[in-house]
Chain A
């Protein structure tokens, strides 16, 4: 089934540890995104990639890094996790990035708890 796969589904992490959230899509979409969703704040863009080999910062990039070595994979890394990074993380992709009619397809989410 075509779509986006995120891993892990859920993770509890000690503060200060390094963590990578994985995201893979099989739709050959050019653009990929990482959002975090917090109660009362909605979805906020962390980082994005318009095409393989390029990345950009979103609204809340601090403490996170991404890479886009190929079209399919877009991992999100927390170098040293802090409790404020406790959230649900959604990876998304779209066919293009330079269009208003840019429908995003979302993964199922990764619930991260930092203690």
Chain B
């Protein structure tokens, strides 16, 4: 089976930086996704990593270390609209996505 762990909740102040960690143990590896999900809405794509290293996309960056089974999502210059759940998902050998339980980030003024 797949085992994907991420913290349940994080709180940060507007303008700050927050790092959401994700560790995984899965049946093979074909990439790692981060999705954002606002309360009551559908998940939306944020980033995809398949090689080790950092992928930067505006205020959001995602890092992957395949040897450590580890990824993080970095949110910079936090805004109130960033309050949401962030879902780590791993693509396994059969190309199916397995999701972690999600990290709820609350941004406070």
Contacts and interface: CB of A to CB of B under 8 A. Distances in A.
A97 B31 contact: no
B23 to A, nearest CB: 14
A106 B42 contact: yes
Contact of A100 (B44, B91, B101): B91
Interface residues on A, range: 20 to 34
Contacts, number: 54
A40 B9 CA distance: 11
Contacts of A109: 41-42
Interface in A14-72: 35, 40-45, 48, 58-59
Interface string B58-88: 0000000000000000000000000000010
A104 interface: yes
Interface of A: 35, 40-45, 48, 58-59, 90, 97-109
